[in-house]
Amino acid sequence: TPAISLEQISKAYRSGGEDVQAVRGIDLRIEQGEFFSLLGPSGCGKTTTMRMVAGFESPTSGTVRLHGDDVTGVAPHRRDVNMVFQSYALFPHMTVFDNVAFGLRRKREASGEIRRKVAEALELVELNGRERTKPGRLSGGQQQRVALARALVNRPSALLLDEPLGALDLKLRQAMQMELKRIQRDVGITFVYVTHDQGEALTMSDRIAVMNGGRVEQLGTPAEVYERPATRFTAGFIGTSNLLSGTVAGRSGEVATVRIEGAGEVRASCDAPAGARVDLTVRPEKIAMEAEEPAGDRARLAGTVTEVVYLGSATHYTVRLGDGSEVVVFRQNASDAASAAERGETVWVSWRPEHAY
Ligand code: ADP
Ligand code: MG
């Protein structure tokens, strides 16, 4: 049985006499020990979904299960999950020790037991020695570790993290991403991680649910959602993607020939029937760019370089195609790199048909 399952969960808020559909029929199964992310833009329903798993919000319809048990009507403190928020919500007048021990004391655990569990939790987040410090004297990253220790101290079966690193600057955020992965591996509990940052979701997750407008647009491993975006939204939201519009002119097996009016015909991996209007996507690093028309069975189009951006280890080129659309090409600046293209130059962009969808 999955650690967490959501079955046809919907949530409508009543706001100013109107219904706001925050979540529209979500189905998810999250496995025990998985690092699972909900990724999507602000307002797509991530927090609402998490609050329904934690029990702070009840769904308008649908069922929430933890390890197979229906907990839809069960109070938050009776669910074996904890939630960590972006605002750490620590008690400022209490020491680190007291903050972490708070829940255990409320449950009237024995003091020896509390000391042992708090020490273990602080060790996990590498804050042992800071027991007597007040949160105000800690850095933002350390405060977030205290919040994490507090959420882990009673060993919940799942931890829900709602944009927990949002308040930290980039360097610290990246360090904490690695740290969270390590902690999750060490304790082996299920993490459900909410973020609007695609890079964060790609680096940390076992699987990602890409959300948009209260729905799950795509579910898969980081490589699956990055390399095979299922919708225009996913393609645009994750990474830099090239999107072209065309019509299926013919097909053989899994590969279709797509006519891009004004630009030419290219082959791509596609299951739409002949005549269908399709959006085609190719990741920038899958595209080759050269001065001569490539031989062989690569899909190819001619265009003009309109922009060159040097980034040190790589250069990004923008190429305008015959139909006026633009594609971005990434090239590593390796020591043996072929000659670079310049603005205004005519080039051929090409890719293997199985790298375009
Ligand atoms: P996210 O976490 O992805 O940014 P939320 O779950 O917070 O999204 O919000 C989803 C939608 O529900 C938004 O349109 C938001 O304005 C609305 N919403 C969230 N909470 C409430 C509430 N308590 N009352 C009314 N509308 C809400
Ligand atoms: Mg949110």
Ligand with smallest separation from the Cα of 45: 1
Query: 272 with 257: CB under 8 angstroms?
Result: no
Which ligand 1 atom is nearest residue 194's CA? 2
156 in the same domain as 102: yes
List the domain range (segments joined by +) for residue 276: 240-355
* Single residue among 200, 232, 264 that ends a domain in this structure: 232
How many Å apart are CA 66 and CA 79, to the nearest integer? 8
Which position has the token pair 């280890």? 313
Among candidates 117, 141, 122, 144, which has minimal Cα distance to 132? 122
Q: Which CATH number fits the domain that encloses residue 131?
A: 3.40.50.300
Query: 315 with 334: CB under 8 angstroms?
Result: no
* Sheet arrangement for strand 242-252: 264-269, 255-260, 242-252, 277-282
* Single residue among 182, 215, 232 that ends a domain in this structure: 232
Around Cβ 328, how many Cβ atoms within 10 Å? 19
The rounded Å distance from CA 157 to ligand 2 centre is 22
Q: What is the pLDDT along the chain (357 residues), one digit of tens a residue?
A: 999 999 999 999 998 889 999 999 999 999 999 999 999 999 999 999 999 999 999 999 999 999 999 999 999 989 999 999 877 789 999 999 999 999 999 889 999 999 999 999 999 888 999 999 999 999 988 998 999 999 999 889 999 999 998 888 888 888 889 989 999 998 899 999 999 999 999 999 999 999 999 999 999 999 999 988 988 899 989 988 899 999 999 998 999 999 999 999 999 999 899 999 999 999 999 999 999 999 888 999 999 999 999 998 889 999 999 999 999 999 888 765 556 789 999 999 999 999 999
* Single residue among 232, 252, 272 that ends a domain in this structure: 232
pLDDT given for residue 26 in this prediction: 98
Q: Which CATH number fits the domain that encloses residue 327?
A: 2.40.50.140
Residue nearest to atom 11 of ligand 1 (CA): 22
Residue nearest to atom 18 of ligand 1 (CA): 22
112 in the same domain as 9: yes
288 in the same domain as 318: yes
The rounded Å distance from CA 229 to ligand 2 centre is 23
The rounded Å distance from CA 40 to ligand 2 centre is 9
Q: CB under 6 Å to ligand 1: residues? A: 13, 15, 20, 22, 40, 42-48
Distance of CA 134 to the CA centre of its chain: 33
Which position has the token pair 């645009």? 236
Query: 317 with 341: CB under 8 angstroms?
Result: yes
192 in the same domain as 266: no
pLDDT given for residue 336 in this prediction: 59
User: What pTM did the predictor assign?
Assistant: 0.89
Number of domains in the chain: 2
257 in the same domain as 186: no
Ligand with smallest separation from the Cα of 161: 2
Residue nearest to atom 10 of ligand 1 (CA): 45
83 in the same domain as 32: yes
184 in the same domain as 274: no
* Amino acid (1-letter code) at residue 119: A
156 in the same domain as 21: yes
How many Å apart are CA 310 and CA 341, to the nearest integer? 12
254 in the same domain as 225: no
303 in the same domain as 338: yes
Ligand with smallest separation from the Cα of 21: 1
88 in the same domain as 23: yes
302 in the same domain as 251: yes
